[in-house]
Chain A
Amino acid sequence: MSGAPSGRVVELDLRGLLCPLPVIRVQDRVAELAPGDEVVAVCSDPGALNDIPAWCKINGHFVLWKGERDGDYVVHLRVGGHRE
């Protein structure tokens, strides 16, 4: 995990994975990022639209946008100050 926010936006292709794997992949990637970094999780499991935001809420991250895009289910989040 790095210290200072880099302002980077990381896209994760999580299509084909069923929950909770998209949550686990987001969780593991976020652990390597700094507060303020962003993750765009692209999923095929519609459950990700509930599960990733729920995970963000309890772990102190922020959902910037969630919804359907080109047939995929997308959650865009910003890493919060709370670390894993």
Chain B
Amino acid sequence: MSEPRKAIALISGGLDSMLAARIVQEQGVHVEGINFFTGFCVEGHTHAIRKRDRNRPKRNNALWVAEQLGIKLHIIDVVEPYKDVVLNPRHGYGANLNPCLDCKIFMVSKAYEWLRQHGFDFIVTGEVVGQRPMSQRRDTMPVVARESGAYDLLLRPLCAKNLPPTLPEREGWVDRDKLYAISGRSRKVQQALARQFGITGYAQPAGGCCFLTDANYSAKLRDLWAHRPGRRYELDDLMLLKVGRHLRPRPHFKLIVSREEGETRFLEGYRKRFAHVRTVSHGGPLTLVEGEGIEDGDLELAARVTARYSQGRDAERVEVEVVRPGEAPRRLQVRPMAPEEIPRDWYL
């Protein structure tokens, strides 16, 4: 008996990619999953940081999907190579800083690279014609296949019948008649398929699974680029953009003010690298001061903002501790800033 054909399926953790992998599994193909960590994934991070979210059941959806399907999952750290996708998207951005088409091309190309290294036969994705305005349109789906280098090794089981037959279909590795012709944004067919396969409890992310589709996050990332010598970022920048209130009182520095205990604990991990402020006389947040050429007056302003978000916000004076990296802590008595003293345009 011949060995089954082998497919590598892009697993995002959502329903579509889960169904796509399952449809191919049903045809006797050996399927393994691949998931890419870009740093912009919504999954888990804010839940892990914020204390009030910690009691919610938390899981990594891609791992959960793999567990349900009984397949291996390879999680690949692509933070470094993904920077070029975010900084220089050939096909441009969507409504925010989301380079969806370039992102899909990148991920399929990485899956294709993995396929060649591991001797697999074809790639499976959960793409559906007409489901996404940028990366999943009838005219852009061939672009993904071509520019990723995967060409007709890329099978989209959910909408294959809307597209020309791929190599796995032509060679009979999969039966085209058992694939689907789903199109558009409706989720009804996918939900019916999930019921048919007995799949329940799948993730239904609201607003997508990538922070780059989020207007607020994109605004903070734009601000970061605008106030640095070049458009660049590190993973820590991406993590910090997910945490706390961000205020930019002056062009040369911004403040990251924790909103609750979990965020304070998370920001504490960055104290050695940033000037920071915490309240002493009252319970309150931890504030990181991010920037260059920070002067004592800037730190005093940071202290007043920190006091405004502390339990001493209505007090005459709040005692705070101010620390510059590598220096001894200093204590200051400051008047908390009144809400109306903080201009709206400081908030990012």
Selected from A16, A20, A58, the residue in CB contact (under 8 A) with B37 is A20
Q: Which of A4-12, A34-42, A47-55, A62-70 has 4 or more CB atoms under 8 Å from chain B?
A: A47-55
Contact with A along B24-53 (1 / 0, CB 8 A): 000000000001010001011101110000
B90 CB, nearest partner CB in chain A, Å: 27
Q: How many A-B residue pairs have CB under 8 A?
A: 70
Give 20 CB contacts A-B under 8 Å. Answer: A18-B44, A18-B45, A18-B239, A20-B35, A20-B41, A21-B37, A23-B60, A27-B74, A45-B44, A46-B54, A47-B44, A47-B58, A47-B60, A50-B58, A51-B60, A54-B59, A58-B66, A58-B73, A82-B72, A84-B74
- With CB as the reference atom, state the residue of chain B lying closest to A57: B67
- A: residues with CB less than 8 A from B are 16, 18-21, 23-24, 27, 45-47, 50-51, 54-55, 57-59, 82, 84
Q: Is the interface of A mostly helix, strand, loop or mixed?
A: helix
Query: How does the 8 Å CB contact mask read for B70-90 relative to A, with 1 for contact and 0 for none?
Result: 111111110000000000000
B-side residues, CB < 8 A to A, are 35, 37, 41, 43-45, 47-49, 54, 58-60, 62-64, 66-67, 70-77, 239, 269
Give the distance in Å from the alpha carbon of A59 to the alpha carbon of B63 in the complex. Answer: 11
Nearest Cβ distance between residue B41 and chain A, in whole angstroms?
A: 8
Main secondary structure of the interface of B (DSSP, over half): mixed
CB distance from A18 to the nearest CB of B (A): 5
Interface centre among B44, B71, B76 (most CB of A within 10 A): B44
Report Cα–Cα, A9/B239, bound state, in Å.
31
A23 to B67, CA, bound (A): 15
